[in-house]
Structure 1
Amino acid sequence: TVVIVADRPDPRWIPPSGSEILWWVKEADPEEVSLVLSLRFGWVVRQEQPLDRVREALHRIRSRDLGSDGWLRQMIHLATLDELLRPILARAMGLSAARGGAIWIRQEESFFQRCGAGFPEAPVGFSEAEALVEAGEAFFLCPREKLGLLRLVEPRAPQDTFLGWIKEVDDLLVKAWNLEQSRNLSYRDDLTVAYNRRCLEVELPQAIRSASVRGESVALLFLDVDNLKELNSQFGHPTGSRVISTVALEAKQIIRNLDRLYRYGGDEFCIIIPGSTAPVAAKIGERLINALVKSPLQVGKARVEVSISVGVASFPADADGADHLLEKADRALLKAKASGKGCVMLADETRNLDR
């Protein structure tokens, strides 16, 4: 067991070898705890707690005590669902000796992949999920509520080895799932049902921190509906609302499950593309522009063409933080507008990307 004494848990300090880590820190928020525990099994203890607490933590680490007072429950109960899923998947893979795995979370009558790899990202229907569980190829998280679906790649340990432990965290998952549902109500745009600006302000810094730790890129698309003011004047605001809804609908059909669409305000949207560079993300913007060109709206006898302009920037190539990334994508959007609209512009370029 490695003991690390620090102000806060930091994944950069995880040694290349060693099986467990006891973090003895001054402060730690749920996301930091979730991240370090997903990378290496261990325990996070605040320095304000007595030394007896540290000795107890070491004892529990060595005895693999993951019960009601185990390591996961040291996380603040208001941790987000994603912050809980990463260490749960990591621990399930470790206990089962699986080569990989993924977790899906239920939304209405389907399950959507939220973390992990090794399986297709496509949503899993409820009946398909039940068939996978019955065949022993998947396992329900919170079986009574059927909130999640766990799949492992070639698990080599008996099911009881990891399923018994997963039951110990059912109540945490239920609380996090309920919290997410309530947050979604305040984080959703009423017109488009996309996430709203407040949600973007929370999730963009999280996406950047995650990309930084993993040594990956994350791209941001900033898009704006062209000539919406003129459309409102000519056809009325209900038509303008239809245009905004159409843009959101087409965007949802193009982006992946792990990408996030936000209505920034008015006629502006943002899309976070994890694991993507700006040039790759620009292709998504081009696809969206082309899809909208092929889907004009019929308003009475008139055909209303829907056009958008898109600015793209990425971390760390173009920006060093969330606010900076948003600013660079916005500047690229302004360049796209100035270049004739209906096009994509990269933050580090002035040339138009023709569709």
Structure 2
Amino acid sequence: MSIKKQPRLLVLVGPTAVGKTAYSLEIAKRWDAEIISGDSMQVYRGMDIGTAKIPVEERQGIPHHLIDICEPDHPFSVAEFQERCAALIEEITSRGKLPFIVGGTGLYVESVCYNYQFSETGSDDIYRAEMEAYAQTHGNEALHARLQAIDPIAAQRLHPNDRRRVIRALEVFHVTGQTFTEQQAGQQKRSPYELCLVGLTRPREQLYNRVEQRIDEMMSLGLVEEVERLVRAGVPKRAIAMQGLGYKEIIPYLEGEMTLEAAVTLLKRDTRHFAKRQLSWFRHMQDIQWVDVGGQANFYENLQAIHAIIAGKFQNDLEYNSNQSCNGGNGK
């Protein structure tokens, strides 16, 4: 009896501003892949600048999935991402293409790679409402401190302003007696796919400089106007989408609570901290092969190293020509 072959899945991860976009386009062209966004914020329509969404005209004809699929008031979840992603992987594979997840939302990506189970943990609406009220009265930092006391690893990975996920982590412990981290550790890290995971990294100072440059670019492209447009459209401040980086920092400026300069300084700080948490998450993931794209090698040389990793994993069926030329460029 023949054993059913696992579908192949290529994954590119790394912190914000490391350069995933530029590399992903070249990788997708080389390996006949379709890109699935692994970013929890790019699912929302009308949120383009703050999420660093790649414009359609820059996608070079490569299909991109899970971008602009819901309105900003929709509470998109990791379970929904996992379900949609699994269906897309099957669909892309059936077309003879390579499914290729690109993104920096660690839990979302990992949930697909290892088929995490989310349905067993119950909920407690009353407790959740109590935690919401506690945060309203005492602030997000105080709520986050409660999580820090019971689950410091989850607290390190979640920003205090990510109130929904902080409350969910507290709720998991309240309902099950197990921390979110303990539940994750109990997940069987066996993948339903033949995985090739590549991670991009840079020296910290260089990465932080790129973060600040990206935010300056977002401001020049009209980030304030984008947030203002969403507020005028009636998207609630407490919506999951509006808690994303670039949105929750600009809202206080629009409400007259701080200067624009202070808001931008806060955004840069929060984004640097976010990049650090992303790296921490991915460092705990197994099987990632890392490429430092911030060293002496140029874009083309880094790209060749990535191609070699993919070829080494998928070489049985995917032809690789190490002499094939690739387009150079600057990472986004």
Same fold (TM over 0.5): no
Q: Which one has more relative contact order, counting CA pairs under 8 Å at least 6 apart?
A: 2
Larger radius of gyration: 1
TM score, norm. by length of structure 2: 0.29
**Structure number having the greater strand percentage:** 1
Q: TM-score, normalised by structure 1?
A: 0.28
